[in-house]
Amino acid sequence: MGAEVSTAEAEEAHVHDDHHHELPFWKKYIFSTDHKIIGYQYGITALIFLFIGFYLMMVMRWSIAHPDKELPAVLAFFLNKSWLSDQGLVTGDLYNMFGAMHGTIMVFLGIVPLAFGAFGNFVTPLQIGAPDMAFPRLNMASYWAYYLGGILMLASFLLPSGAAEAGWTMYSPLATTAQLDEVNLWFTGQTFWLFGMVCLISSSLLGAVNFISTIINLRCRGMTWMRMPFFVWAMLVTGFLLLLAFPPLEVAAVMQLMDRLAGASFFIPTGLNFSGAGSVDAGLLDVAGGGSPLLFQHLFWFLAHPEVYVLILPAIAIVGEIIPNNIRRPVWGYKSMVYAVMVLGFLAFIVWAHHMYLTGMGNVVSTFFQATTVIISIPSVILLTCLFISLWGGSIRFTVPMLWALAFLPMFGFGGLTGLPLAFNLIDLHLHDTYYVIAHFHYIVAPGTIFGLFAGIYYWFPKATGRMMNNKLGHLHFWPSLIAMNGIFLPMFVQGMSGFHRRWYDGGVNYDEITSRILFEEGSFFANLFKDGRAIEMIDLNVFMTFFVWVLCIAQFPFIFNFFHSIFRGRKADGDNPWRATTLEWSAPNCPPHGNFVNEPIAYRGPYEYSVPGYKDDYTPQFERGNDGVILGEEDPPADAAKNAH
Amino acid sequence: MQLLGIINEMIGLPELASEHGSMVDHMLEVVHWLVAALLFGWTGFFVYCLVRFRKKRHPKADYHGVQGHASHHVEVAVVVIEAILLLGFALPLWAQRITDYPSGPDVVRVRAVGEQFKWTMHYPGPDNKFGLAKSDLISGANPLGIDWEDINAKDDFVYTELVLPVDRECIVTVTSKDVIHNLALHPMRMAQDAIPGSVADMWFRPVATGRWQTICGQLCGAGHSGMVGYLEVMAQKDFDAWYKDNVPSAKEDNPLKAAPEGDADGAS
């Protein structure tokens, strides 16, 4: 596969551009090997998937809040009507299908591709001064494998069985035996899910090797390790996480495929006897048996915990770029952050069994995983603390990307902190699989990571398009989103502590003992306000949260409009460096040409030299030698020194 | 104790009815104090910075920023508190669960078997020994596939609800016939996955009588949200009477024991 692109080749390509030897459209924009185009492809595809995942969640939240009310036409419009009950209600089957696919789509098709695929692809080579990724064709293959995986996942909704329905975790034996009543097992949602995952994982692996090679080999002159922007460090660690964590799940997916299609029993124990109440016929299941359901959980979580950091690190990294730019001073503790992210990457591999406390554990195993889980909180706290402390002494500009980045900090912090109670085995038994857990990881991923990603979109938009996104629409997007996110997820902590479990399609009407606990007495202020004086019960929070889901949905319209409008009609960016930033991507022309840079990029100093004493401007870019000929820092090479050339 | 329950009370934990559960609640409370302290600390600092260092008020940024070592102290304090939580609470509490594992004739034993979408409880009878259960013997009349020929099975019986006596150690052995379920007993602050093909125990000591719903805590199919079970904790006297009523005696016309022969064909 693909050859390394040397600077010479890139320059040659650049010359071609100058001579107007344009590539044909399909080669330039469809099967492109340019990291920027691939980044856009990833970005647009991932955003579409984020909205699909959001739609699935709206149907689910409707069912949770109004299990006895017909699904509104605007949501039912996209549905196969036979999936709904005769009264137009969401059924348990439909809820499970959407639940499984919401998780899968958001994690594997939405956030990872947007964070790693889009931002990683677009920003990383620019920030290290490389003409492209190390393996451009591998990069293209990575996108198209992802695309194929996405198509398989979407196509599974069109099958007679519908899509997969065993939770995004796909625990065996439920996942292996689901939809067994279909005629052709190859064409069931469960099977498509597994094929889709094989594609997605392969895509991530191709991406991961590419990122690692690029960052190690293609840094420009002067770009020493400790001059790399934090974003690049995070991408390097993320690359290793993907490379080492994904293969076990790929193996697990293939093994589960064999269980479903080839009569193997990797994850199916002997003697399963179904009652006939589910989709499997009553009686003994006709399989060889002897497999272990626990093995699947281990393989799954060995991936899925590092995966959490794959979701988080790019977002922290984006925020880590935007904050110094908008406080006009360096990030505080750059080196601590670099070391913390490396420690985090390592520890991410040895905490996975804290997802499995419920399976029952002996003392040694439990001690080990509780200890590692608590220890991993330390580098996380360091990262966040550095970003918080950076604010001190800054001169804070509240630009739109900065708003998102700032909101990320407390939201992500809250999500991270509420992970603490879940780290301890015994108290986790009470909280596990309740809405407490849902709130915890959604605070990390939704108002956390997704806010970080929005920040990145607003921040790098001028580099990609040469135009700015509209400020007013940005505010109109940000503020309602911030309020709605909290309106959705904050009440979940309360519900979770009181015992609301996840995956109840009817919101918990069967568990009235837990769900009917009274929050506000009859005739109290809120009762009068919202329920005509009747007491407000715990389960009524469902309606409250679902209301904010609609708010969140509406809040995305300004963004969608802004995004497309600004591409064509946005205000022209004020030069190549509209944010007055310091990192190398801002030395490239807007809409960077093939090969990225007009002049050879050289890094003269660290990545965040803002408000350096003795300089007139409040920013001193990495790529500028210094206006009064002062050479800053002992590691600063003279412009013509070759010692740092790779 | 009043102050040390304020977060739990505010958020509203479910009723507590087990001995070790008070330690769970206590620890939940303590951990949430740490969470709250860090959250308010961070947020306070955050908001202060946003106001004090906004561009209008602080037009020239300071290259060096925070100089002191306050953040290191905070960091160390967090590490110390977490270490205390881990070494002082979490690890000993779980170790206690393992080392204090109850044994002896006084322990109440039940097997809880999950299936789509209900629970069936298997009681060992007065001999306190479970008869063999085989999945190929499962039938409508014998939901757990108990081998009635087994000598230990003679006095066994099954019941649809989990009935336990108060103030005695109880071991519930959890397993499943089909997919993974989870028996979550919130008043006991206990939960255990029911994994087909393997058995796992949980133990606790109920300290209050009452009747509560049990929850299936792992997605098990379309009927998952309706997999409600019941846990009833009785006074010892009532429990004995209930137990006696259910134990099949020699002349008993217990339907479960009535047709041990006929079960075999129904099963396969």
Please indicate whether, in this complex, the C-beta atoms of A427 and B24 are within 8 angstroms of each other. yes
Confidence of residue A434 (pLDDT cuts 50, 70, 90): very high
Pull the structure tokens for residue A158. 């069109």
What confidence tens digit (pLDDT) does each residue in A79-108 have? Answer: 888 899 999 999 999 999 999 999 999 999
Exposure string of B37-46, with b = 16+ CB inside 10 Å and e = fewer, is ebbeebeebb
The kind and range of the H/E element at B193 are strand B190-194
| Contact (Cβ atoms closer than 8 angstroms) between residue B183 and residue B214 | yes
Confidence of residue A481 (pLDDT cuts 50, 70, 90): very high
| Contact (Cβ atoms closer than 8 angstroms) between residue A168 and residue A100 | yes
Pull the structure tokens for residue A589. 């022309």
Rounded mean pLDDT of chain A?
Answer: 91
Residue B266 confidence (pLDDT) above 70 = no
Q: Assign A162 to helix, strand or coil.
A: coil
Q: Which among A148-152, A359-363, B104-108 has the top mean pLDDT?
A: A148-152
Residue B264 confidence (pLDDT) above 80 = no
Summarize the confidence of residues A471-483 as an average pLDDT. 97
Residue A466 confidence (pLDDT) above 90 = yes
Count the neighbouring beta carbons within 10 Å of the beta carbon of residue A72. Answer: 14
Among A598-602, B38-42, B96-100, B249-253, where is mean pLDDT lowest? B249-253
What confidence tens digit (pLDDT) does each residue in A335-346 have? Answer: 999 999 999 999
What confidence tens digit (pLDDT) does each residue in A32-43 have? Answer: 999 999 999 999
Name the minimum distance, in Å, from the CA of B136 to any CA of chain A: 7
Q: Which DSSP letter does residue A631 get?
A: P
Distance CA A370, CA B86 (A): 8
Please name the member of B27, B60, B117 whose beta carbon is closest to the beta carbon of A277. B117
Task: State the sign of the Cα–Cα–Cα–Cα dihedral A389, A390, A396, A398.
Answer: negative
Summarize the confidence of residues A129-155 as an average pLDDT. 96
Query: Which residues of chain A are within 8 Å of residue B97 when distances are taken between CB atoms?
Result: 426
Distance CA A616, CA A618 (A): 7
Alpha-carbon radius of gyration of chain B = 26
> What pLDDT is stored for residue A633 in this prediction?
45
Q: Which of residues 224-263 of B touch A (CB under 8 A)?
A: 224-226, 228
What confidence tens digit (pLDDT) does each residue in A191-244 have? Answer: 999 999 999 999 999 999 999 999 999 999 889 999 999 999 999 999 999 999
Residue B113 confidence (pLDDT) above 80 = yes
| Contact (Cβ atoms closer than 8 angstroms) between residue A249 and residue A104 | no
Name the minimum distance, in Å, from the CA of A87 to any CA of chain B: 18
Confidence of residue A527 (pLDDT cuts 50, 70, 90): confident
Query: CATH for B3-99, among 1.10.150, 1.10.3470, 1.10.10, 1.10.287?
Result: 1.10.287
Please name the member of B34, B58, B94 whose beta carbon is closest to the beta carbon of A420. B34
Name the minimum distance, in Å, from the CA of B49 to any CA of chain A: 6
CB neighbour list of residue B133: distance below 8 Å, 6 or more residues apart: B111, B113, B122, B144, B145, B146, B147
Orientation of helix A35-65 relative to helix A92-104, angle to 10°: 150
Please indicate whether, in this complex, the C-beta atoms of B53 and A395 are within 8 angstroms of each other. yes
Please indicate whether, in this complex, the C-beta atoms of A499 and B115 are within 8 angstroms of each other. no
B77 touching A, CB under 8 A? no
Distance CA B263, CA B268 (A): 9
Give the count of Cβ contacts less than 8 A between chain A and B.
317
> What pLDDT is stored for residue A276 in this prediction?
86
> What pLDDT is stored for residue A21 in this prediction?
66
| Contact (Cβ atoms closer than 8 angstroms) between residue A227 and residue A330 | no
Please indicate whether, in this complex, the C-beta atoms of A425 and B79 are within 8 angstroms of each other. no
Confidence of residue A453 (pLDDT cuts 50, 70, 90): very high
Query: Which residues of chain A are within 8 Å of residue B63 when distances are taken between CB atoms?
Result: 329-330, 610-613
Please indicate whether, in this complex, the C-beta atoms of A370 and B91 are within 8 angstroms of each other. yes
pTM score, whole prediction:
0.92
> What pLDDT is stored for residue A533 in this prediction?
86
Distance CA A201, CA A194 (A): 10
Residue A309 confidence (pLDDT) above 80 = yes
- Tokens 């409707």 found at: A62
Top residue of A68, A347, A395, A435 to mutate, by most chain B CBs within 10 Å, is A395
> Higher model confidence: residue A467 or residue B75?
A467
Residue type, A343: V
DSSP string, A544-578: HHHHHHHHHHHHTHHHHHHHHHHHHHSPBPSSS-T
> What pLDDT is stored for residue A281 in this prediction?
87
> Of A547, A494, A490, A505, whose CA–CA distance to A64 is shortest?
A505
Exposure string of B196-224, with b = 16+ CB inside 10 Å and e = fewer, is bbbebebbbbbbebeebbbbbbbbbbbbb
CATH top class, domain B108-267: mainly beta
Confidence of residue A280 (pLDDT cuts 50, 70, 90): confident
| Contact (Cβ atoms closer than 8 angstroms) between residue A68 and residue A505 | no
> What pLDDT is stored for residue B71 in this prediction?
81
Summarize the confidence of residues B156-179 as an average pLDDT. 96
Q: Assign A83 to helix, strand or coil.
A: helix
Distance CA B203, CA B143 (A): 24
A454 within domain boundaries: yes
A641 within domain boundaries: no
Distance CA A461, CA A119 (A): 11
> Of A316, A318, A314, A169, whose CA–CA distance to A239 is shortest?
A314
Summarize the confidence of residues A393-419 as an average pLDDT. 95
Minimal-distance CA residue of chain A relative to B195: A293
Name the minimum distance, in Å, from the CA of B155 to any CA of chain A: 24
Residue A48 confidence (pLDDT) above 80 = yes
Pairing of strands B210-216, B200-204: unpaired
Q: Alpha carbon A301 to chain centroid distance?
A: 17
Summarize the confidence of residues A501-525 as an average pLDDT. 90
Do B3-99 and B108-267 come out as alike in CATH topology? no
Confidence of residue A580 (pLDDT cuts 50, 70, 90): very high
Residue A307 confidence (pLDDT) above 50 = yes
Q: Assign B245 to helix, strand or coil.
A: helix
Name the minimum distance, in Å, from the CA of B251 to any CA of chain A: 31
> What pLDDT is stored for residue A571 in this prediction?
95
Exposure string of A120-137, with b = 16+ CB inside 10 Å and e = fewer, is bbbbbbbbbbbbbbbbbe
> What pLDDT is stored for residue B2 in this prediction?
54
Q: For chain A, what's the residue count?
A: 646
Q: Which DSSP letter does residue A524 get?
A: S
> Higher model confidence: residue A531 or residue A399?
A399
Confidence of residue A2 (pLDDT cuts 50, 70, 90): very low
The total domain count for chain A is 1
Please name the member of B50, B182, B190 whose beta carbon is closest to the beta carbon of A396. B50
Pull the structure tokens for residue A122. 């677009």
> What pLDDT is stored for residue A22 in this prediction?
76
Distance CA A340, CA A343 (A): 5
Distance CA A408, CA A316 (A): 8
What confidence tens digit (pLDDT) does each residue in A6-29 have? Answer: 444 444 444 444 445 678 888 888
Pull the structure tokens for residue A173. 């034996």
- Tokens 């000993």 found at: B92
Please indicate whether, in this complex, the C-beta atoms of B177 and A275 are within 8 angstroms of each other. yes
| Contact (Cβ atoms closer than 8 angstroms) between residue A481 and residue A423 | no
Residue type, A344: L
Summarize the confidence of residues A393-402 as an average pLDDT. 96
| Percent with pLDDT over 90 in chain A | 80
Query: Which residues of chain A are within 8 Å of residue B65 when distances are taken between CB atoms?
Result: 329-330, 332, 389-390, 392-394
What confidence tens digit (pLDDT) does each residue in B233-261 have? Answer: 999 999 999 999 999 874 454 445 444 44
Among A179-183, A409-413, A416-420, A452-456, where is mean pLDDT lowest? A179-183
Distance CA A170, CA A181 (A): 18
What is the largest distance, in Å, between two alpha-carbon atoms of chain A? Answer: 84
Pull the structure tokens for residue B15. 């009723």
Query: Which residues of chain B are within 8 Å of residue A433 when distances are taken between CB atoms?
Result: 182, 184, 217-218
Residue A555 confidence (pLDDT) above 70 = yes
Please name the member of B43, B196, B213 whose beta carbon is closest to the beta carbon of A272. B196
B120 touching A, CB under 8 A? no
Helix/strand/coil (H/E/C) assignment for every residue in A301-339: HHHHHHHHHHHHHHHHHHHHHHHHHHHCCCCCCHHHHHH
| Contact (Cβ atoms closer than 8 angstroms) between residue A87 and residue A67 | no
DSSP string, A116-130: IIIIIHHHHHHHHT-
- Tokens 């080492």 found at: A244
Please indicate whether, in this complex, the C-beta atoms of A274 and B177 are within 8 angstroms of each other. yes
> Of A119, A145, A80, whose CA–CA distance to A322 is shortest?
A119
Distance CA B258, CA B261 (A): 9
A591 within domain boundaries: no
CB neighbour list of residue A92: distance below 8 Å, 6 or more residues apart: A505, A506, B221, B222, B223, B224, B225, B226
What confidence tens digit (pLDDT) does each residue in A316-336 have? Answer: 999 999 999 999 999 999 999
- For chain B, give me the number of helices (H) and strands (E)? 7, 10
What confidence tens digit (pLDDT) does each residue in B11-34 have? Answer: 888 999 999 999 999 999 999 999
DSSP string, A467-493: BPPPHHHHHHHHHHHHHHHHHHHHHHH
Domains in chain B: boundaries: 3-99, 108-267
Strand partners, B204: B170
Summarize the confidence of residues B192-204 as an average pLDDT. 94
Q: What are phi and psi for residue B179, nearest 5 degrees?
A: -115, -175
| Beta-carbon-side half-sphere exposure of residue B171 (alpha carbons within 13 Å) | 19
